Chain A
Amino acid sequence: MSSATLAAVQPASAFGRTLRIFLRETRYEFTRLVRTRSFALSVIGFPVAFYVFFGLVMNRGEQIGSVSVAKYMLAGYAVFGLVGAAFFGIGVGLSSELAAGWLELKRASPMPPIAYLLAKCCSAIAFGIIIVSILTGLGVLFGHVSLSLPDYARMIALTIIGVLPFACMGMALALLLPFSSAPGIANMIYLPMSFCGGLWIPIMLLPHFLQRFALLLPTYHLGQLMLGSFGYASAGTTSSHWLGLAGFTLMMLGIASLGLRRLEENS
């Protein structure tokens, strides 16, 4: 009997330990990102500034389909913001800690690696929620956006899930590129990917070949899912967008694991 209790207690306490480490790791990672002004200000400031200009100031009360421009643009810039938080928070953060040898010190400690990765993801999710909430507040207050509570809840749920594919992309980037070029290349991926995915200006205003190209972009699929949650009828089906996101996530995980293997071979 006592051995049965022991066996039951051991995994539970190991899980409890990992959970405690994960929670503390998350708290400090989030605190660190908030204190790193260059990160916090740009990752929150850019989507907010863009939304204010293109969604609110230049808005003349027009409709796109059944949705007002302010609400349509809210979906785009919400995705733009959460992608930035995930991609830069994890990509550039991991890349810098890898380059500085800090990750090595962490790996030599008894810290469970999963706690480290999840802490980074959760911090990105927290930033994503902050950004989406600020944008929503601005839209409701200044753009006459009408948003029900379930609408908002669906946006937050999509934010939480939507961070993951871009967190994986960040991880792949950090494992493949040296830190000296990572932030620059991250921007060169992030900005065109956002534009071509229809996050800045509605996708149907883009040239035809870009609309076709957008089908390959995770930003397009997440943007369409976000619009779909507002009741906007998007070009593809909901399941095609989910498939697109899942495929992209798997591809990024594959690239990341290749990068990890290369890293381990060299260490």
Chain B
Amino acid sequence: MNAMLERISVPTSPIANESTGAFASLTAVTKRYSNGVLALDNLSLTLRRGEIVALLGPNGAGKSTAIKLLMGLSSPTSGAVRIFGADPRNTAARLRIGVMLQVGKAPEMLRVREHIELFRGYYPNPMPYASIIQAAGLEGIEERMFGQLSGGQKQRVLFAIALAGDPDLIFLDEPTVGFDTKARRGIWAQIRSLAARGKTVLLTTHYLEEADALAHRIIVINKGRVVCEGTPEEVKSVGSIAPGTSDRRSLKTIRCATTLAIPTLLAISGVTSAESSSGLTTIVSTQAESTLRELLALDTTLHSLEVQSPALEDAFLAITSDRE
């Protein structure tokens, strides 16, 4: 029976194999809950060794369903889920993953040290206790009860628990909720160093800044499908394409104070839109360099020049709203 399942799933998941660098994969996965809700709709994604992947999407997009499937907490209606080439419910596969979930409440009357020791005990080769404490920034609060910690400290304990088994694949669900900027940057540095050591990190986040700063690859999902996938730059440029155009070159926003009239600006090559308000003109161009050359030649008095890539947030909103 098992052998049969193997044979069926192999042709559909040619890359779900560790030797090719794929640590985990969802292949054509559909998940329909018993109440009829379609959470994932023929979704495929692959996580490779040493990369940080951010899973982005509005609430209800299917992010947590995708993560739950990869953690083996739920099984797909159809399609294949593989971790290190095995079923994620397999204990051997579980020994190599670390999980940080959004937990409403952990047992409050256990000390930080006890929580970490408990989880370290689940693994034959856990990460050294001192390294976990240092990586999660828990020095000095190890003897506190979990219930006495602040929100940010609790999150750090949950991060420490994810590291307990020195895993090769780490799932982080909203890892920096409740963090101040300094603590957030501290965890980012830890996540980067994990990836540098060949670990794979999949994170979901509401902070687009976090995905932009951290991820090698962003997968945007909405309504259970992948709508866009690529480096943060690629995702931003996809999202910035004006609806109705198929231009995939990257868009830039140019802001300046100029005396040129709007119709003149629109005639410049590459310009897709131009508008001015309170003395500043905002121009969107698909060929920023040539637009700028012409602009500067036409208006020698131009000043306060500023050129920007569109923010990931704009891209994200454009992607998830355009493709309904």
Q: Chain A interface (Cβ within 8 Å of chain B)?
A: 17, 20-21, 24-25, 28, 31-32, 35-36, 96-97, 99-102, 104-105, 107-112, 264-267
Docked-complex contact B34 and A32, CB < 8 angstroms: no
Contacts of B34 in A (CB 8 A): 265-266
Q: What's the Cα separation between A20 and B118 when bound, in Å?
A: 11
Contacts of B54 in A (CB 8 A): none
A-B contact number at CB 8 A: 78
Any chain A CB within 8 A of the CB of B175?
A: no
Docked-complex contact B73 and A111, CB < 8 angstroms: no
Q: Which of A17, A100, A265 contacts B124 (CB 8 A)?
A: A17
Docked-complex contact A101 and B94, CB < 8 angstroms: no
Question: For residue B146, which residue of chain A has the nearest CB?
Answer: A32
Docked-complex contact A266 and B94, CB < 8 angstroms: no
Q: What's the Cα separation between A100 and B106 when bound, in Å?
A: 7
Q: Which of A17, A35, A110, A112 contacts B109 (CB 8 A)?
A: A35
Docked-complex contact A24 and B121, CB < 8 angstroms: yes
Docked-complex contact B110 and A108, CB < 8 angstroms: no
Any chain A CB within 8 A of the CB of B270?
A: no
Q: What's the Cα separation between A112 and B34 when bound, in Å?
A: 27
Q: What's the Cα separation between A104 and B109 when bound, in Å?
A: 19
Docked-complex contact B118 and A24, CB < 8 angstroms: yes
Docked-complex contact B101 and A105, CB < 8 angstroms: yes
Docked-complex contact B107 and A97, CB < 8 angstroms: yes
Contacts of B144 in A (CB 8 A): none
Q: Shortest Cβ distance from A8 into chain B, in angstroms?
A: 18
Any chain A CB within 8 A of the CB of B179?
A: no
Contacts of A101 in B (CB 8 A): 101-104
Contacts of A108 in B (CB 8 A): 71-73, 94, 97, 99, 101, 171
Q: Which of A102, A104, A107, A266 contacts B107 (CB 8 A)?
A: A102
Q: Shortest Cβ distance from A144 into chain B, in angstroms?
A: 39
Docked-complex contact B123 and A110, CB < 8 angstroms: yes
**Known A-B contacts A20-B121, A36-B109; A110 and B94 likewise in contact (beta carbons under 8 Å):** yes
B-side interface mostly: loop
A-side interface mostly: helix
Docked-complex contact B73 and A266, CB < 8 angstroms: no
Question: For residue B119, which residue of chain A has the nearest CB?
Answer: A109
Docked-complex contact A31 and B110, CB < 8 angstroms: yes
Within 8 A of A (CB), among B93-151: 94-95, 97, 99, 101-110, 114, 117-119, 121-124, 145
Q: Shortest Cβ distance from B275 into chain A, in angstroms?
A: 47
Residues 21-53 of B, flagged 1 when their CB comes within 8 A of A and 0 if not, give 000000000000111000000000000000000
A–B Cβ pairs within 8 angstroms, 19 of them: A24-B118, A24-B121, A35-B110, A96-B105, A97-B107, A100-B105, A101-B103, A102-B104, A104-B73, A105-B99, A105-B103, A108-B94, A109-B99, A110-B122, A110-B123, A110-B165, A111-B122, A265-B33, A267-B74
Any chain A CB within 8 A of the CB of B277?
A: no
Q: What's the Cα separation between A20 and B126 when bound, in Å?
A: 15
Additional 9 contacts, C-beta under 8 A, given A32-B110, A108-B72, A110-B123: A28-B110, A100-B105, A101-B102, A102-B103, A102-B105, A105-B99, A105-B106, A265-B34, A267-B74
Q: What's the Cα separation between A265 and B32 when bound, in Å?
A: 10
Question: For residue B114, which residue of chain A has the nearest CB?
Answer: A28
Q: What's the Cα separation between A108 and B122 when bound, in Å?
A: 11
Q: Shortest Cβ distance from A124 into chain B, in angstroms?
A: 16
Q: What's the Cα separation between A95 and B72 when bound, in Å?
A: 21
Any chain A CB within 8 A of the CB of B288?
A: no
Any chain A CB within 8 A of the CB of B20?
A: no
Q: What's the Cα separation between A20 and B94 when bound, in Å?
A: 18
